[in-house]
Amino acid sequence: MEAASRDSSWPTVLATAVGMFLLLDAVRVWLPSLSIVFGATASAQPRELAAACLLSVAAVTTLQVRRLTGPTLGLTLTAVIVVAARLLVQASSGGAPQLWSSTIAVVALMGWFVALARIGASTRRTAVGAALGLAAQTTLHTVLGTVDLTWQEGALPWLAVTLSAAGLLVGSHLIRPDSDASAAVFFFIGPAAALAGLLTAAPSRAWVSTGWSDEPLWAAPLVVLGACLGVVAAWRGGLSRASWPSSTLLVVATVFATWPGDDGVLPPQAAAAVALGAVVGAAGRSAGRRTPALRGWVCVAGFAVFGLLTGGYYAGHYVLLPFGTSWLLPAAAVILGLAALTAGSAELATSRRTTGVGVATAAATALATFVIGAVTAPSLDKPRATDLPLRVMTYNIHYGIAADGRFDAAGIAATIRRAEPDVVVLQEVDRGWFLNGGHDTLRRLAGDVHMRYVFSPSTDELMGEAILTRVPFADVQVTPLPRAGVPMRAATLSAVLDIPGGPDLAVVTTHLHLGSAGVAKRQVVAVADVVEGHRESGRDVVLAGDFNLEPTDGRLAPLLTVLEDGLRRWRPTPTYPADDPTSQRDHVFVSPGLSTSGLDVDDSLASDHLPIALTIRR
Would you state the pLDDT for residue 310? 85
Kindly report, residue by residue over 459-505, the tens digit of the pLDDT: 778 889 999 999 988 889 999 998 876 767 889 999 999 888 778 99
Strand-pair partners of 426: 395, 466
Please report the DSSP string for 286-352 in residue order: ------HHHHHHHHHHHHHHHHHHHHHHHHTTTS--TT-STTHHHHHHHHHHHHHHTT--------H
Q: What pLDDT is recorded for position 373? A: 83
pLDDT tens readout for residues 505-519: 999 999 998 766 678
Residues ≥6 apart with Cβ < 8 Å to 133: 16, 17, 18, 19, 20, 21, 23, 24
Find the distance separating the first CA and the last CA of the chain, reported in whole Å.
Answer: 84
H-state helical runs in 343-464: 352-376, 409-419, 441-449
Asked if 83 and 168 count as a contact pair (C-beta separation under 8 A), the reply is: yes
CA distance 526 to 462: 23
How many Cβ atoms sit within 10 Å of the Cβ of residue 493? 28
CB neighbour list of residue 251: distance below 8 Å, 6 or more residues apart: 330, 333, 334, 337
Looking at the DSSP bridge assignments, the partners of residue 401 are 407
The per-residue pLDDT for 607 is 94
**Residue in 498, 578, 491, 579 with CA at minimum distance from that of residue 540:** 498
Q: Which H/E stretch holds residue 466?
A: strand 463-469
| Cα-based torsion angle of the residue sequence 196, 197, 201, 203 in order, rounded to the nearest 10 degrees | -150
Structural domains present in the chain: 9-375 (1.20.1250.20), 390-617 (3.60.10.10)
Q: Give every residue of the chain whose pLDDT is below 50, as ranges.
A: 1-7, 40-45, 65-66, 212, 262, 264
Task: Print the SS3 string covering 220-277.
Answer: HHHHHHHHHHHHHHHHHCCCCCCCHHHHHHHHHHHHHHCCCCCCCCHHHHHHHHHHHH
Q: Report the distance separating Cα 269 and Cα 255, nearest Å.
A: 10
Quote the CA–CA distance of 467 and 446 in Å, as a whole number: 10
Cα torsion 458, 461, 464, 468 to 10°: value is: 130
What pLDDT, on the 0 to 100 scale, is given for residue 326? Answer: 72
The phi, psi pair for 217, rounded to 5°, reads -70, -20
pLDDT at 403: 77
Q: Give the integer Cα–Cα distance in Å for 376 and 450.
A: 13
Give residue 32's pLDDT.
87
What's the CA gap between 211 and 461, in Å, rounded?
Answer: 10
Which candidate, 250, 252, 268, places its Cα nearest to that of 191?
250
